[in-house]
Homo-oligomer: A and B are copies of this chain.
Amino acid sequence: MSDVFAALADSTRRALLDRLFSQNGQSLSDLHHGMEMSRQAVAKHLHILETANLVSVHWQGREKLHYLNPVPLGEIVHRWVGKFEDARVEALTDFKKQLEKPPATEQEKRRA
């Protein structure tokens, strides 16, 4: 459950999540198919997604099936981003005010 944000930073990993979104429960070979890199590279990315708890796995004989883990994406990211989202309209208003009418004193200029 290490760094979810770091796990999401790589476009290949986001692509893997996309592929799992459109087709859940795929094996490494499935996910590797059509990708422009070695199977091992894909395996590493999947392991990072596993470690970040974004993907959970289920062994089926010799195949390791990968499933989107729905929890942390919503929990962590949405919660963190939501904090800023909540202030969106308000901040936008403040920002415009700031540009239109800069305050007078030094303190106010910097702290407004």
A residues adjacent to B (C-beta < 8 A) = 3, 5-6, 8-9, 11, 14, 17, 21, 23-27, 30, 56, 58, 60, 63, 65, 67-68, 70-71, 73-74, 77-78, 80-85, 87-89, 91-92, 94-95, 98-99, 102, 109-112
Contact = CB atoms under 8 A, between A and B. Distances in A.
Given A68-B84, A81-B74, A84-B17, A24 B94 contact: yes
A24 B96 CA distance: 13
B63 A74 contact: no
Count identical subunits in the complex: 2
B95 A84 contact: no
Given A8-B5, A21-B84, A78-B78, A70 B58 contact: no
Contacts of A95: 24, 56, 67, 70
A68 to B, nearest CB: 6
Nearest to A67: B95
Contact of A65 (B17, B24, B85, B110): B110
Given A25-B110, A25-B112, A58-B98, A73 B81 contact: yes
